[in-house]
Chains A and B, each alone.
Chain A
Amino acid sequence: MASPSLFSSLMKCLQGTLFSRMRVLNGQLSSHLNANQVRHGSILYSAICVERHPVVTSKKSRIEENFSEVLSKIEKENSYLSDHEVRRLKEQRAAKSKQENAEEEPSNIDSETVTALDLEDKWDAEIKSFTPASRITQADDTGDQKSLDRKLDSSLYLLVKQNVAGRDHWVLPQATWEDGETLRQTAERALSSVCGDVSANVLGNAPCAVAKYVPPSEDEEQPIKLFFYKAWHRGGNVNIDKGIASDYVWVTKEEMKDFCHNSYNRHLNKFIFDI
């Protein structure tokens, strides 16, 4: 009953990848791949991986925190005194000597000059009055996977539930290659047709990964080649076109496992890194 998974795990595609990369680079894509399609009869797809990069830096792990503390202590011990610290020390010594010689000299009231300690108090008050924005947003609390505000310290990737070969799968937005366009144009078309308002910059004219599916018997199904492109999200959220895709999510790399097939995930692991 289970239909064969779209992408087999056997990869002997290095030559195939290089061949198609060369063609894409030389811009002879349309004519040559059309000939190939006719000869081999494989369907070409282009998928686009839109990545929203982290907005805030990630928190340090315990080891990293301890180590950075030690390093800053060492740096402080080895450093020279700044102007402010020199001034503070000088005033401390003056105050001490004034205390000891309090009965000998009449104290001058220096109410107009601002001492270093006064400045420090002023700065402390300023820091206390400042509240930085929260790292955990409302979307994090509700767990809204459609929102772009979630998980600000990690990358989010766009997944859509698309109808591929008769069944709905959670995949990166993809489209079939048509005659006369480059694979990159197919990827951009996939994004605009499936997602609408999302604007993204595609990295490079060559795909970053490829997945091949060769069916067991040549007659029943056509072999499939799926080329992946990476893109950086620039703005806009998904305005889904119900005809092509039914749902979308923005997920981190770990959460992707809950949505995609295992075999598809294996291909994604080739170019999506959780760094």
Chain B
Amino acid sequence: MLLCVLRTTSSALTRTLLVNYTKPMILNNVHRPVCAGCQQQLSARFSSNRSEWHGLWEPVDLKTEPDIPEFESIHINMKGFDYPVLESYAKYVHKSVNTIFQLESDAWPAPAKSSQVKTFHPNSTAVNDKYDLQNYERTVVVEDVPTTTMPILLEFVRKNCPEGVVVFVKEPNPEEEEARYVPDYEVIELQKEKEAIAAGKLRKK
């Protein structure tokens, strides 16, 4: 026989019920064992109560969307053959987005793409010069950009762009995001095996 611990103070329903089963009720992260009848009352009373101590307080003036619509995220993609220039520009853009524009941002590099250029002597295949070039890439992601700030950001990026750097400002593309991940060959092989078994082609030895 267990006693109901919590008593309601409302006049009509002050009674103690003796029941075998008590269900704990969580009020403000404190577990209190409460009988079924009281629990119904209590939850009814406390859910509508806006007090901080006796229930969940719900603010009245919540806005689900900002007044000025915002771009969720914008990718500023910078590519160039000249490493120090590109690196310093990417750093400048990232810093400015944090300090001048006061927007959340993230930045990452992408692996450089190397290429080789050969010049030949005139009218022959004898190599005159060989150049090993690397096209470096940096991306700065800016989040929650208000649409009124976007043109200013675009102008800023364009006016400060140094020579030799190509900039793309775009919204995120999930297909391009895949290139960032290193494929797990073991997982891919196992998945292929699984499909083959499902198709019935692979016979278990």
Residues of A within 8 A of B (CB): 21, 25, 53, 56-57, 203-206, 208, 230, 232, 275
Check A206 against B148 for contact (C-beta < 8 Å): yes
> Closest Cβ of chain A: how far from B121's Cβ, in Å?
13
Q: Tell me the bound Cα distance from A232 to B154 in angstroms.
A: 11
Q: Give 6 CB contacts A-B under 8 Å.
A: A21-B148, A25-B147, A53-B159, A56-B163, A57-B163, A203-B155
Check B159 against A275 for contact (C-beta < 8 Å): yes
Q: Tell me the bound Cα distance from A208 to B154 in angstroms.
A: 13
Residues of chain B within 8 A (CB-CB) of A203 are: 150-151, 154-155
Check B158 against A204 for contact (C-beta < 8 Å): no
Per the CB 8 Å criterion, the residue count for chain B at the interface is: 12
Of the candidates A25, A57, A208, which one forms a contact with B68 in the assembled complex, judged by CB atoms under 8 Å apart? Answer: A25
Residues of chain A within 8 A (CB-CB) of B147 are: 25, 204-206
Interface of A is mostly: loop
Q: Tell me the bound Cα distance from A203 to B150 in angstroms.
A: 8
B 141-171 binary contact with A (CB < 8 Å = 1; else 0):
0000001101100110011001100000000
A-B interface pairs (CB < 8 A), number: 25
Closest 7 CB pairs between A and B?
Answer: A203-B151, A204-B151, A57-B163, A275-B159, A206-B148, A203-B154, A53-B158
Residues of B within 8 A of A (CB): 68-69, 147-148, 150-151, 154-155, 158-159, 162-163
Of the candidates A25, A204, A232, A275, which one forms a contact with B150 in the assembled complex, judged by CB atoms under 8 Å apart? Answer: A204
Kindly list 7 other residue pairs between chains A and B, CB separation below 8 angstroms, not including A25-B68, A203-B155, A275-B159. A21-B148, A57-B162, A203-B150, A204-B147, A204-B148, A205-B147, A208-B151
Residues of chain A within 8 A (CB-CB) of B163 are: 56-57
Check A25 against B159 for contact (C-beta < 8 Å): no
> Closest Cβ of chain B: how far from A230's Cβ, in Å?
6
Residues of chain A within 8 A (CB-CB) of B68 are: 25
Residues of chain A within 8 A (CB-CB) of B154 are: 203
> Closest Cβ of chain B: how far from A17's Cβ, in Å?
11
Residues of chain B within 8 A (CB-CB) of A204 are: 147-148, 150-151
> Closest Cβ of chain B: how far from A233's Cβ, in Å?
12
Check B69 against A25 for contact (C-beta < 8 Å): yes
Q: Tell me the bound Cα distance from A53 to B151 in angstroms.
A: 15
> Closest Cβ of chain A: how far from B28's Cβ, in Å?
41
Q: Tell me the bound Cα distance from A206 to B158 in angstroms.
A: 20
Q: Tell me the bound Cα distance from A57 to B158 in angstroms.
A: 12
Residue of A nearest to B149 (CB): A204
Residues of chain A within 8 A (CB-CB) of B159 are: 53, 275
Q: Tell me the bound Cα distance from A193 to B148 in angstroms.
A: 27
User: Which interface residue of A204, A205, A208, A275 has the most chain B CB atoms within 10 A?
Assistant: A204
Residues of chain B within 8 A (CB-CB) of A25 are: 68-69, 147
Residues of chain B within 8 A (CB-CB) of A21 are: 148
Residues of chain A within 8 A (CB-CB) of B162 are: 57
Residues of chain B within 8 A (CB-CB) of A230 are: 151, 155
Residue of A nearest to B68 (CB): A25
Residues of chain B within 8 A (CB-CB) of A275 are: 159
Residue of B nearest to A205 (CB): B147
Residue of B nearest to A206 (CB): B148
Residue of A nearest to B84 (CB): A75
Residues of chain B within 8 A (CB-CB) of A56 are: 163
> Closest Cβ of chain A: how far from B147's Cβ, in Å?
7
Q: Tell me the bound Cα distance from A275 to B158 in angstroms.
A: 11
